[in-house]
Amino acid sequence: MPLPDESLAEADLARLLQEALARTPARLMVGRAGPGYLTSTWLKLRADHAAARDAVHAEIDLPRDFSGRSFLELRTRACSKAEYLMRPDRGRELDDGSLELLRPHTISADVLFIIGDGLSAAAVRLNALSLLDSLTLAARERGWSVGPTCFVHHCRVGILNALGEALRPTVAVLLIGERPGLATAESLSAYLAHRPQRGHTDAQRNLISNIHANGVSLPDATARLIALIARMMAVGASGVGIKESLTVRPPPPAVG
């Protein structure tokens, strides 16, 4: 018969473990079979890995995935998903047909929103359109002019430079699928740049990542992105010199 204080300690430990597991998708305390995973854990790992591979290799079809929505549909110099994965440089440049398509749209705007498939079609299908709509509404409420929304197939982050030179927005925002992990294949990133142009690197960009149902919520992402855009317009720059002013949120309620 355990002593009362020992029973209390075990109960506290169980509660703390439950609370920790509720706050992370990491595989903690999953048990083992000899030196390996339990069969159930191993099967879940295999399923998550398959979902990640599917997200990387899948393609976005605008009429199917974003039915009824109008975009400037652009393509990079990566002619296939295989080439895109092997030649990242080609995913940073627009092809000749896309550059020609952009010629009538060279009037500068305050904000340009871009969606790129990136490394997760699943993230774009699930999150990009809702985030785009809330960002566009918030931008117009502030009186900012919004350029034509672009969708770029086989897109890398460096496409910001090419579109910045072609369309000359004050701030460009790229919503792009993140490289999937074993916790989720549905995570979206948002990259921002003030007057992007050739030669700019990640040092001239800002990033909010991990946008998905179990990460940064769409309302939080919208608020943070709009605040960053306003800051960039006020300062006239983006990148390492621009810092977010984040409000510390209380932790989620305890489980159980």
Give domain status of residue 45, yes or no: no
Give domain status of residue 135, yes or no: yes
Give domain status of residue 110, yes or no: yes
Q: What is the CATH number of the domain that holds 115?
A: 3.40.50.11240
* CA-to-CA separations, 18 to 26, 40, 183, 216, in angstroms, rounded: 13, 19, 18, 22
* CA-to-CA separations, 118 to 9, 57, 85, 210, in angstroms, rounded: 48, 10, 10, 14
Residue 99 CB contacts under 8 Å (≥ 6 apart), including other chains: 166
What radius of gyration do the chain's Cα atoms show? 22
Give domain status of residue 93, yes or no: yes
Give domain status of residue 181, yes or no: yes
Long-range contacts of 87-90 (CB under 8 A, 24+ apart): 88/156, 90/154
> What pLDDT score does 6 carry?
55
Helix axes 218-235, 129-141, angle to 10 degrees: 50
Written as one string, the DSSP assignment of the chain is ---HHHHHHHHHHHHHHHHHHHT--S--S---BTTB--HHHHHHHHHHHHHHHHHHH----HHHHSTT---EEEEBS--SHHHHHH-GGGGGSB-HHHHHHHGGG-S--SEEEEEE-TT-HHHIIIIIHHHHHHHHHHHHHTT--B---EEEES--TTHHHHHHHHH--SEEEEEEEPPP-SS-S--EEEEEEES--TT--GGGEEEEEEESTTSB-HHHHHHHHHHHHHHHHHHT--STT----PPPPPPPPPP-
Would you give per-residue pLDDT tens digits along the chain (256 residues)?
454 555 557 777 778 777 877 776 677 777 778 888 788 877 887 887 787 787 787 889 999 999 889 899 999 999 999 999 999 999 999 999 999 999 888 778 999 999 999 999 989 999 999 999 999 999 999 999 999 999 999 999 999 999 999 999 999 999 999 887 766 778 899 999 999 999 999 999 999 999 998 889 999 999 999 999 999 999 999 999 888 876 545 445 544 4
Domain that holds residue 78: 57-235
> What pLDDT score does 15 carry?
80
Question: What does DSSP say about strands 188-194 and 150-153: parallel, antiparallel, or unpaired?
Answer: unpaired
Q: Give the number of domains in the chain.
A: 1
Q: Which amino acid is residue 205, in one-letter code?
A: R
Please state whether the predicted TM-score (pTM) of the whole model is above 0.85.
Answer: no
Give domain status of residue 41, yes or no: no
Give domain status of residue 71, yes or no: yes
Give domain status of residue 151, yes or no: yes
